[in-house]
Chain A
Amino acid sequence: MKGSHYPYIALVKKLLTDRRVLGCLAILLATSALVAPTAAHAGIWDGFANAVVAPALSIAISGIAWFLNWVSVVLLLLAVTVLKTIMAFVLQAAYTPLGAGPGSSIAIAWGVIRDFSNMLFILILIAIGVGTMLMNFKLPISGQQGVGPGLLVKFAIVAALINFTPVLTGAIIDISNILTKFFFDVAAGGANAFITFNPFTQSAGDLQNGIFNLDVAAGLAVQYGVAFIFNLVASLVLFTVAALLAVRVLALWLLVIFSPLAFAASILPQTQSIFKDWWNHFLQWVILPVPIGLFLWIAALILSTSGTACGEGGMYKNFRGIGTNETSGYGAPVNNVLQGKDGGTFCMATMSTMALGTVIAGMMAAFSVSAKGSGFIVSRAQGVQQETQKWANRRRVEGQQAVGRAAVRKARDGVSIRTPGFGAGALRQREATIPGIKNMPSKLVKGAGLPVVGGALGAVAAGSQLWLNNSTKKELDVEETRYKGLTGAQLKQHLQQERNPRRVAILSKLLGKEDNDGFSEVVSKNKELETLIDSLRESAKSNVELAKIFKDVTKKNIHLVPDADKEKAAAALSPKDISALPIETWKDSASVSALLRSGKINQSAVKDLARNPQKALAFRDGVLDTLIERGILTPTSPMPTAEELRTHIAPLLNPAEADTFAASLETNPVMQVALRTARSETREEERERVVDEARDAARDTARETPPAPPSA
């Protein structure tokens, strides 16, 4: 029989030693244990599960959870200890060479930087000297334009201050540390409170109570899990606060060490930004621990009062006993989590979370307040500096005026006085004693330059205009002399070939042909119009109502304004006026030319033109006529392309506006269509007209030319 059972025993042994089989068995057992409490699985299996599986799972779950919680508690304890140490260190650390002593690293480093800065002073002095020679830094003593201390004065002040930077920075740090100490003293228990009043620091004793009970173990596991997360977050926050405070010590050390360089940088205008950066950083790091201390103290308050507040008679007593009264089954672990041993776990946990949130808010506030606070201090300091400077300037000006008045008085009497000081007062006194101006009041001496300069500019402008007019006249005279001595037939021949409007006009004048191209008619009409407008203008001088009407009419009708005044009238137009200009103005080449020259046809004006097709066409006519009148185009030349138009119009415009104007024309579809419409019609019409004229002229010539004598 034994021998017959042997294979089975061997098989069981083999199965029990196989890892895969054992793994499956374990999963089976675990699954069975989870479904075991149901009533459907009563019997032997229940007994096995209750006796073996449940205790084993309880031990495993609660053990792992307890271990994790223990690790987090240890971490929290470490964070609290580090924070307390750093808080003490922040208050006790020596930030300056004075506090650290002569042999300390900070003292040695600061000494080296100070010596280096002293070397830089030589370079700065040379820079001031060269700058003064090249007139980049005016008035090195009294400051630029008499405002603020000059570079030499600054140089002297900074050269002295540089040796006292430990005292200056130390005083500011001390003020901050006094405030910090006030809060740190009251918040000293804050860090400890995270341990003392922590509802999540379960001991191993709790584990003993429920180690063999699966319900209690589940509750403990949840509790430990929550505790693990809370403690981990709290540790991270406290470590961060500690790190921030530690970095502050290091930052202040470095800032103090480099303070001589920063002060030296404040001398030259080009390097003043370095000093400003240093100063802002310094203030930010100095202020940093004050809000942290304040918020730590508030957190400590919340934690220390949580026991009372969550107690039987506390303000949060209603939060006690949240959950059910079940002590077994699924209710038990829930109650364990929410109520704990004394029924106030939920309340305590809430208070602890709020305290942790306060510390996080404190960190954020520290960053914000230190940045804003330093900005506020800097701005206030600048305000005080400006006010002081204004006051000093007022006093100085009053003093100078008094000295100047005295100097002028004395100079009038021919007696010189000694000037009790430097600056403008002394300069004015010297001016007052210069022969020729000594009898002038000082204000007049100073202001006399402006009318002289204005007069000179006016003379230059008038001269330029005269030169321009003479040049134009000379040019016309030259054009006219070109045709002198020619016969009538030759002049007519020239007229037929000539396309330049100016030369056509000269030729017409020489021929006495007043009706050529209607040119003279236009000129005479224009003259009539000019005469009419002149008489209106004269009348408007004595009639207010007429003046108003005249102004309104000419404002909205540039084409009615004499050519000479068009540009001035165009320059006075607002964008609204431009958009209200009538079609006649846009057709008038002189008006368009004036508007172009005054830069009034900008992008928005082009858009306005595009919105009215008739105005767009009128503008096209105005532009083309302008170019024809200027001899850039002839009536028979093909319509310019966009690029040609850009080139042609550019001389009429301000160079800076030419591209914008051309681009606004090129990108506007309606304007492009309008301009291209001109291409076909103008060319055809003008071609027809020119052909007709040529035909007429040829007929006239044929009529005037005597027939050739018959040959022998």
Chain B
Amino acid sequence: MLHISDAQFKNVMGTVPAALYDAAVSEETINAIERVVSQNNLKEKTGGISAVVGYVLLGFIPVRLIVQGFLQEAGISQEGALKIAQDIRREILAPVARDLAAIQPQAEQNYAALQATQNQGATQ
């Protein structure tokens, strides 16, 4: 589970490329999420799946952690997470692959910062 503060949310939002932000709020993405969850019979997990898509598109987590994200945020099985990740990559991430690739170093940093905050909170 990611623990994001308001400040972190605002910071990351300030650095998201326009193309990726547009993709995150676009009708196509929303329709694709509806389609994918419907095809995989995971309608009750829509919120979690949608959140992970948001995390990836907005650069909170790197693309490589998408399956892990589905496992933790949406609480779906390993097999289901792999299938969903494939579908999401094909339907949503592939059209913005170039922009996504460009923000991956930043996404790694953001994720590391989030993890550090989380670990710090847990220690305290």
**A contact set with B: CB distance below 8 Å:** 607, 610-611, 613-614, 617, 641-643, 663, 665-670, 672-674, 676-677, 679-681, 684
Choose among A607, A614, A663, A677 the residue that contacts B25 (Cβ–Cβ < 8 A). A607
Nearest-CB residue, chain B, relative to A644: B47
* B47-A641 in contact (CB<8A): yes
* B30-A673 in contact (CB<8A): no
* A668-B50 in contact (CB<8A): yes
* B51-A676 in contact (CB<8A): yes
Q: Report B51-94 residues with CB < 8 Å from chain A CB.
A: 51, 53-55, 57-58, 60, 73
A512 to B47 Cα, complex, angstroms: 44
> Quick check: is B33 within 8 A (CB to CB) of the other chain?
yes
Nearest-CB residue, chain A, relative to B46: A666
Choose among B3, B29, B30, B48 the residue that contacts A680 (Cβ–Cβ < 8 A). B3
Task: Known A-B contacts: A613-B9, A642-B48, A676-B73. Give 9 more (CB < 8 A).
Answer: A641-B47, A667-B33, A670-B58, A672-B50, A673-B9, A676-B51, A677-B4, A677-B8, A680-B4
> Quick check: is B107 within 8 A (CB to CB) of the other chain?
no
> Quick check: is B13 within 8 A (CB to CB) of the other chain?
yes
Contacts of B30 in A (CB 8 A): 667-668
Nearest-CB residue, chain B, relative to A669: B54
A610 to B58 Cα, complex, angstroms: 12
A643 to B42 Cα, complex, angstroms: 13
A684 to B44 Cα, complex, angstroms: 27
Nearest-CB residue, chain A, relative to B6: A681
A642 to B49 Cα, complex, angstroms: 11
Choose among A673, A679, A681 the residue that contacts B58 (Cβ–Cβ < 8 A). A673
Nearest-CB residue, chain B, relative to A608: B25
Contacts of B25 in A (CB 8 A): 607, 610-611, 668-670
* B9-A669 in contact (CB<8A): no
* B6-A666 in contact (CB<8A): no
Tell me the minimal C-beta distance from B46 to chain A in angstroms.
Answer: 4
A641 to B25 Cα, complex, angstroms: 21
> Quick check: is B5 within 8 A (CB to CB) of the other chain?
yes
A667 to B36 Cα, complex, angstroms: 11
* A666-B50 in contact (CB<8A): yes
* A669-B50 in contact (CB<8A): yes
A455 to B6 Cα, complex, angstroms: 52
Q: Report B1-56 residues with CB < 8 Å from chain A CB.
A: 2-6, 8-10, 13, 21, 24-25, 27, 29-30, 33-34, 44, 46-48, 50-51, 53-55
Question: A607-B25, A613-B9, A676-B51 are known contacts. Are A669 and B33 too (CB-CB below 8 A)?
Answer: yes
Contacts of B24 in A (CB 8 A): 610, 669-670
* A642-B46 in contact (CB<8A): yes
Nearest-CB residue, chain B, relative to A680: B3
Contacts of B33 in A (CB 8 A): 667, 669
Choose among A610, A617, A642 the residue that contacts B47 (Cβ–Cβ < 8 A). A642
Contacts of B10 in A (CB 8 A): 613-614, 617
Tell me the minimal C-beta distance from A23 to chain B in angstroms.
Answer: 63
* A677-B58 in contact (CB<8A): no
Nearest-CB residue, chain B, relative to A646: B47
Contacts of B58 in A (CB 8 A): 669-670, 673
Contacts of B121 in A (CB 8 A): 684
Contacts of A681 in B (CB 8 A): 4-6
Question: A613-B10, A667-B50 are known contacts. Are A673 and B44 too (CB-CB below 8 A)?
Answer: no
Nearest-CB residue, chain B, relative to A683: B3
Contacts of A674 in B (CB 8 A): 9
Nearest-CB residue, chain A, relative to B121: A684
A672 to B51 Cα, complex, angstroms: 5
* B29-A669 in contact (CB<8A): yes
Nearest-CB residue, chain B, relative to A641: B47
Tell me the minimal C-beta distance from B19 to chain A in angstroms.
Answer: 14
Contacts of B44 in A (CB 8 A): 643
* B9-A667 in contact (CB<8A): no
Nearest-CB residue, chain A, relative to B22: A611
* A677-B50 in contact (CB<8A): no
Tell me the minimal C-beta distance from B64 to chain A in angstroms.
Answer: 18
Nearest-CB residue, chain A, relative to B14: A613
Contacts of B8 in A (CB 8 A): 677
A611 to B21 Cα, complex, angstroms: 8
Tell me the minimal C-beta distance from A187 to chain B in angstroms.
Answer: 60
The 7 A-B pairs of least Cβ separation, nearest first, read A642-B47, A669-B54, A680-B3, A672-B51, A673-B54, A613-B13, A666-B46
A611 to B24 Cα, complex, angstroms: 9
* A673-B5 in contact (CB<8A): no
Tell me the minimal C-beta distance from A408 to chain B in angstroms.
Answer: 63
A313 to B108 Cα, complex, angstroms: 93
Contacts of B21 in A (CB 8 A): 670
* B54-A667 in contact (CB<8A): no
Nearest-CB residue, chain A, relative to B31: A667
Tell me the minimal C-beta distance from A215 to chain B in angstroms.
Answer: 69
Q: Which of B8, B29, B30 has the most CB of A within 10 A?
A: B30
Choose among B13, B29, B47, B73 the residue that contacts A666 (Cβ–Cβ < 8 A). B47
Question: A607-B25, A642-B46 are known contacts. Are A670 and B54 too (CB-CB below 8 A)?
Answer: yes
A667 to B55 Cα, complex, angstroms: 13
Contacts of B2 in A (CB 8 A): 676, 680
Tell me the minimal C-beta distance from B82 to chain A in angstroms.
Answer: 20
Nearest-CB residue, chain B, relative to A613: B13
Q: Which of A613, A617, A672 has the most CB of B within 10 A?
A: A672
Nearest-CB residue, chain A, relative to B51: A672
A676 to B48 Cα, complex, angstroms: 9
Tell me the minimal C-beta distance from A711 to chain B in angstroms.
Answer: 41
Contacts of B48 in A (CB 8 A): 642, 672
Tell me the minimal C-beta distance from B39 to chain A in angstroms.
Answer: 14
Contacts of B34 in A (CB 8 A): 663, 667
Contacts of A642 in B (CB 8 A): 46-48
Nearest-CB residue, chain A, relative to B73: A676
Nearest-CB residue, chain B, relative to A643: B44
Nearest-CB residue, chain A, relative to B9: A677
Nearest-CB residue, chain A, relative to B44: A643
Contacts of A641 in B (CB 8 A): 47
> Can you list 18 residue pairs at the A/B interface with Cβ under 8 Å?
A610-B24, A614-B10, A617-B6, A667-B34, A669-B58, A670-B25, A672-B47, A672-B48, A672-B50, A673-B4, A673-B51, A676-B51, A676-B73, A677-B6, A679-B3, A680-B5, A681-B5, A684-B121
Q: Which of B4, B25, B48, B54 has the most CB of A within 10 A?
A: B25
A255 to B46 Cα, complex, angstroms: 58
Tell me the minimal C-beta distance from B47 to chain A in angstroms.
Answer: 3
Choose among A607, A611, A614, A672 the residue that contacts B54 (Cβ–Cβ < 8 A). A672
A641 to B50 Cα, complex, angstroms: 13
Contacts of A680 in B (CB 8 A): 2-5
Tell me the minimal C-beta distance from A368 to chain B in angstroms.
Answer: 41
A569 to B47 Cα, complex, angstroms: 31
A555 to B50 Cα, complex, angstroms: 33
Tell me the minimal C-beta distance from B51 to chain A in angstroms.
Answer: 4
